[in-house]
Structure 1
Amino acid sequence: METTSSSPFKPRQKDKDEDKFRIGATVAFIVVIIGIGVPMWWHTTTVYRVTLPSSEILSLSEAPIKTAVKVAIYTKELSRGQLLISELESAFSDSDIWVVKFKQLNATAKIQEAHTPAVLEKLLLKEHPQRVGDFMLIEWPNLQEELLLTTERSALMREDTSANKIAQLLHSKILQTYRINQILSTDERMGTKSEAPQPAYDVIVSVLNPKPRLTHAQWNVAMAVRTYIEPWLAQVSAVSNYTVRTQWKYRVSIEADLKQVRDQGRLGRHYALQESSLPHLLTSIAQNLSASTTDKPAINLVVYIPPCHTAPLHIYNSKDQRLTRNGVDAFISPPWGAFIIANPPEHVCLAALNDQEPVPYYVSTTDNMQIMLDQLHKLLDISSELQMDGVKVVDIEQLEPRRWEYESYLRRTAIRHISTASNTLQSLIKLLDQISYIVIDDDVGAAITKSYADILGAKAALVENRLADASALAKRAFVASERGFFDPSLLAQLYFPDEQKYAIYIPLFLPIMVPVLSSFNMLRSVLQARRKEKQS
């Protein structure tokens, strides 16, 4: 009896002990694989992405760019000044861009005794100092024009100048609203938009002399650049920095069809260069000009000295009309640069055509540098070419650009930098949201966050009439946005998407997961058997 009663009990106890070990081993295996292995794999394969203010950046375009401007008005009669201000405030009340604050200047006894516009302006500025971006309208009798723009932040107006004319002047010349609309418009029909100014440029002044043995042109171009170009660029360096260098290039001729034209000069002829050939001319000489030694964009300023057998050389349009202006043949090709034809004097070419010894001569520094400065005005988009009836602009008598013109350029580039940086950040955020496996490291995150903060700061500075601060902040925002957008680290895993990652890891983990799934099945069977045993 004892033998028969004890034999079935021992195997059952042994099976239960084995089941405990099997269950324990299975649970440990599952915990290691799923509880430790899978999280570790997930963590090590997760793309590192810094947290960004994505929603705030995408909503940047919802807040329009508003710019405050202060305009002071001086009139001899207070009632006329009040009427002008009332009409001007009404003209600018519905503007989506400008917040123009008009102020009437009171006249003291000393101001009323001023006998010249210059003295009057000096006294007004002493009583009412201006900030960067401000403007002043000064009434002065006996003007020929309705409005006379000075080289400072002011304009003289006649006693009968209307508020409508003043509003046209402010919109067209001072604020340049039509250009701002082109920058902010999303309508492609507004025309091709120029690129935002870069933070740095290389300005390369090249003198081309194809026949140095026959044309003995002498010119200290380095000294001319130091005297004229470098001081002028220093005045406009708030937006971009400029590095200037000079070079002479010999045996570089232009590749263009020249047509001989008879004239009444001492040489009896000159040569015509068709305006349609100018793009091909630039292509032919561009490959012979040494490129910029840095990654900065280059502005080429070329002075071409034609040999006497093709001199003098003049530019003609398609109607065979000579385009020489003030004795100068020149043209610009933004953003590449500009071209000046410096023809040798007639006596030099007469000697050369009569087989005489080459006559050395000096290239005119004043003439060529004045042309070059005018070309830089246009290449950097500083000059205001729009003409208005009844409005005259005082000629520049100094190297510095007109103050109101340059500050209009500052205002315009600040808005362009803000708009470009905002569009760049929004495009980058949309790209990062669409492609989840692009790495966003700390440097990219810092650049994006810094650019966003500077955009907000620049917008606030514009509204608060702090043009200098707005220009600096907008430039920083633009540079940071470009650095973030073009950072090489964004391409680190661009060609390693999630699908490819799964294709690589599934063959690795699938053999491991088969025993795990089998263990789940075994564990389920054991638990079911125990449940039935308890129920029985």
Structure 2
Amino acid sequence: MEETSSMKPKRKDTTEDKYRIAATIAFIVVIVGIGVPMWWKTTTVYRVSLPSSAILRLSDHPIKTVVHVAIYTQQPDRAQLLITELQNAFKDSNVWIMEFKQLSPFAKASEAHTPAALEKLLLQEHPQSVGDFMFIEWPKLEDELLLTTERSALMRTDVTSNKMAQLLHTKILQTYRVNQILSKDERMGIKSEAPQPDYDVVISVLNPKPKITNAKWNVVMAAQTYIEPFLAQISDISSYTVRTQWKYRVALEADLKQVRDQTKLGRHYALQESALPHLLTSIAQNLSASITDKPVINLVVYVPPCSSAPLHIYNNKNEILTRDGVDAFISPPWGGFIIANPPESVCMAYINDEPPMQYYVNTNDNMQVMLDQLQKLLDISSEVHVSGVKTVDIEQLAPRRWEYESYIRRSAIRHIATASNTLQSLIKLLDQISYIVIDDQVGTAITNSHNDILAAKAALLEHRLLNASALAKRAFVASERGFFDASLLAQLYFPDEQKYAIYIPLFLPVMVPVLSSFNMLRKLLQRKRKEKQP
């Protein structure tokens, strides 16, 4: 009986140990096998796969552009010699791949008695595409080279290849500007920003004292006649919305100095060039017609009252800066400023205490200045002077064709370079800060931008300038959208250290029983081994 009673507790202990082991294993599996992975999964930052390595290698393939240049001379040997020398001049270029073509003389060329007629015949035989350029020899020429408003330049018979290369670099290709875009050396000078996809062009007419200076001007009609057609001609890069407004009682906060002269009024007023930045600051806050998220180009026409008119701008050497009867200046990228002085007769009536005379602001003079300001603000015009080279004056609203296509080429290169730098900076930032979320929208923007950069580079190499410009612009917009997406900041202030600091106090009390269960399981297994031993 004693032996039987001693065996019953042993079975009971064995059964309890089995349940205890099973419960312990189940507890460990639930906590470690399910709880920990679930916690890890739910706290993991969502990140879309990106072509990071390919983006970081974008700088390994520099931007190169193919340019087609045709040369026509009456002597084929001379054209061939010029082409050989020009090829040698451009062979070491890091940006340009120049493809020169010789245009052979033809029978109808002798019938052309004007350069325009000869150019027309040449274009019939050899049509041009966007970005092309042509040199046409014309013996009866005063200057060495004469730049037309189209894609051509007339050249004298004795012009050298060095002068032609100089013209191509400085005017047609504007290599110095492209080098500034591509250079990473800050000493190259201040770089202008890449063209934005949309702009608001606001034309403001400021008349501080309308009761005294009774100026009339249909500025809406002027904008529709001059500004809008011009902007329509250059809409390949950006879209423009034109708005006009009149502003009254806007004070001009600047120190004006009275200067005696020989006019009927006997004086005028001087505005120092050094005071111009302060002047813009004083009026800028009064110009906003509405709130907009687009970049704004301000074109201001200021009508000074007769108490401070006529008003002229002076430089630091006390020299008057009036050009062609107009005082104006620009301040990139803010905009331009024009002083529209009232006629002398209007101010004479004011001095003689006569009733205010109504007059109309000169539309043509002010709009021509405004168009010139727009070309400079948008970085279209080329003002670099080359000795022996003359440029034909513009007689139409549209810019010179070669000048605008140079702007398209530069803008494409600038958009590609800016988008590449933006993507590389973003990838480096995302690699350094692992807890920034990369959602599908940001991932799509980055991937599309990278693909468009590669496509734009290929288009430049294939001489598809407009296509390259459209792709580069799209890449730039997508890179900006990806870089400034608000979702990137979602967990920017919740790094891994804070995550562990918050969750460890929650999981640590739970892990104490788990560790105790491991210890109990170890003891049970050790006891089982001892019982099996003889």
Following superposition, the deviation at residue 7 of structure 1 comes to 2.1
- Structure 1 distance, partners of 2:109, 2:97, is 29
Give the 3-state SS of the residue equivalent to 1:278 in structure 2: helix
Structure 2 segments unaligned to the other structure (5+ residues)? none
Residue of structure 1 equivalent to 2:250: 252
Query: Counterpart of 1:177?
Result: 175
Contact 2:64/2:94, CA 8 A, preserved across alignment: yes
Q: Hey, what does 1:436 align to over in structure 2? A: 434
Tell me whether 1:18 sits opposite 2:20 in the alignment: no
Q: Check conservation: 1:438, 1:491, Cα contact below 8 A.
A: yes
2:145 alignment partner in structure 1: 147
- Partner SS, residue 7 of structure 1: helix
1:376 aligns with 2:374: yes
Q: Secondary structure at the match of 1:480?
A: helix
Q: Which residue of 2 aligns with 1:347?
A: 345
The equivalent of 1:54 in structure 2 is: 52
CA drift at 1:289 = 1.2
1:117-516 alignment, distance < 5 Å = 117-516=115-514
Contact 1:139 1:157 in 2 (8 A): yes
Deviations 1:464-515 (A, max 9, x none): 1111011100000000000000000011111111111111111111111100
Partner of 1:86: 84
- Distance in 1, matches of 2:216 and 2:380, equals 32
Indicate the residue corresponding to 2:29 in structure 1.
31
Q: Aligned partners of 2:191 and 2:103: how far apart in 1?
A: 39
Q: Residues of 2 paired with 1:161 and 1:112: CA distance?
A: 21
Q: Distance in 2 between matches of 1:57 and 1:254?
A: 50
**Equivalent AA in structure 2 for residue 87 of structure 1:** E
Q: Secondary structure at the match of 2:434?
A: coil
Amino acid at match of 1:162: T
Would the aligned equivalents of 1:292 and 1:298 in 2 still touch at CA under 8 Å? no
Tell me how far apart the structure 2 counterparts of residues 112 and 41 of structure 1 sit (CA, whole Å). 87
Q: Which digits, 9 at most, give the CA deviation of each residue in 1:42-89, with x for residues without a partner?
A: 111111100000000011111100000000000111000000000001
User: Is 2:106 the counterpart of 1:111?
Assistant: no
Amino acid at match of 1:349: C
| Counterpart check, 1:69 vs 2:63 | no
RMSD: 0.8
- The code of the aligned residue for 2:226 comes to Y
Shift of residue 533, structure 1, vs aligned partner: 2.1
Structure 2: distance between partners of 1:319 and 1:410: 38
Q: How far 1:291 moved relative to its partner?
A: 5.0
Structure 2 CA distance, aligned partners of 1:448 and 1:419? Answer: 15
SS across alignment from 2:356: coil
Q: Distance in 1 between matches of 2:201 and 2:226?
A: 13
Cα distance, 1:104 vs structure 2: 0.4
- Structure 1 residue ranges without an equivalent (≥5): none
Instruction: After superposition, give the CA deviation of every residue in 1:379-418 in whole Å (9 maximum; x if it has no partner).
Output: 0000001000000000000000000000000000111110
Asked whether the 8 Å contact 1:417–1:478 carries over to 2, the reply is yes
What is the identity, as a one-letter code, of the residue corresponding to 1:311?
A
Report if aligned partners of 2:245, 2:289 keep a CA contact under 8 Å in 1. no
Q: TM-score, normalised by structure 1?
A: 0.99
How many percent of aligned residue pairs carry the same amino acid? Answer: 76
Q: CA deviation at 1:530?
A: 1.4
CA contact 1:202–1:292 (8 Å) conserved in 2? no
TM-score under structure 2 length normalisation = 0.99
One-letter identity of the residue aligned with 1:510: L
Report the Cα offset of residue 330 of structure 1: 0.3
Give the counterpart of 2:100 among 99, 102, 115: 102
Aligned pair count reads 534
Give the secondary-structure state (helix, strand or coil) at the position aligned to 1:101. strand
Distance in 2, matches of 1:526 and 1:326, equals: 104
Q: Distance in 2 between matches of 1:189 and 1:520?
A: 67
CA distance in 2, matches of 1:200, 1:290: 17
Partner secondary structure for residue 8 of structure 1:
helix
**CA distance in 1 between partners of 2:491 and 2:75 (Å):** 71
How far 1:8 sits from its partner (Å)? 2.0
Tell me how far 1:292 sits from its aligned partner.
Answer: 4.5
